[in-house]
Amino acid sequence: MEINWRGAVVCGVVLILTGCSNALPVGTPSAIPEPSTSPTSTIIAEPVDATEAFREIAHASCDKASAEGVVESGWDGTQKAIMIPKSIAYKDFNAVYVGENGVPALIWETDSFAACYSSNAYSLAEEAGQEVDLGLTFNEADGTFQTTLDQGPDQDPFVATYTVSNGLIVQQHIDADWGETTVEVTYGMPSEEDIAFLQTAVDAFLAENG
C-alpha cells in the first residue's frame, strides 16, 4: 500500500530566560542579608509572524533535503520515503517510497516529503501572486507548528504537527482519516541499503517502460 506522505509547517522557538538580580539594602553590614537567586524560568514565545517563520523553515528544510538527501520514516519504521541529491540522481531519478512489504516504488514529486510539501505550497502560491492557507497554528507549550488541510466533505481534515530543530523540520505527526503516525526526518546521504531501494525501483520501471 502506498501512503501519501504530505504535510506542512514549523518555526524557530524564542527562549526568554528570566531571573532576579540581587540588590543590597543600605545599612550596617549586619543588616545585609545573604544573597539569593530566584529559580530561572523558560518561556516559549510565539514568533512575531508565525507564518513567515514557518515559511523560512519550510524552504530551509526542502533546500537541505534536496541538496544533501533525506530519509523520512514512519509507521514504526515499516514505511519510509528516501531522496538522494539530484546531483547524483540514478538514471535521472532520485526518490523512492518503500512500503511495509519492502517493495520500492518511485516518487515523482517532492510534495511527498514532509520536508518539502509546505515549501512547494508556498513557492507555487508565490509564483501565482497568492497566499496559501495551511491553517497554521503555533503551540507555545511545546514550540510546534500545526497545519490543518480540508480534504473535502467526505474526508476528515489532514492534520500535521511539526517539530523543528535548528531551523529545520525534524518530525511530523500525521493525523488523517487514512492513518496516524509520527514521521522522523533525517537529513544527509541515505544508507547504501536505502539507495539500493531506489536503484531497484528505477531499474524495474525502465524495464517495464523501455
Q: How far apart are CA 82 and CA 84, in angstroms?
A: 7
Which residues does residue 185 pair with via DSSP β-bridges, in sequence order? 72
Q: How confident is the model at residue 46 (pLDDT cuts 50, 70, 90)?
A: low
Q: What integer is the mean pLDDT of 102-124?
A: 96
Local confidence band at 151 (pLDDT 50, 70, 90 cut-offs): confident
Helix, strand, coil share of the chain (percent; to 5): 25, 30, 40
**Beta carbons within 8 Å of 194's beta carbon, 6+ residues apart:** 71, 80, 82, 98
In the block, residue with C-alpha cell 541499503? 193
- Look up residue 64 and give its three cell numbers: 537541505
Residue 10 pLDDT > 50: no
Give the mean model confidence (pLDDT) for residues 27-49.
48
Partners of residue 97 on adjacent β-strands: 81, 105
Q: Which residue has the cell 507549550?
A: 141
* Mean pLDDT estimate for the chain: 82
Q: Render pLDDT for 167-184 as a digit per residue (tens, 0 to 9).
A: 999 999 999 888 899 999
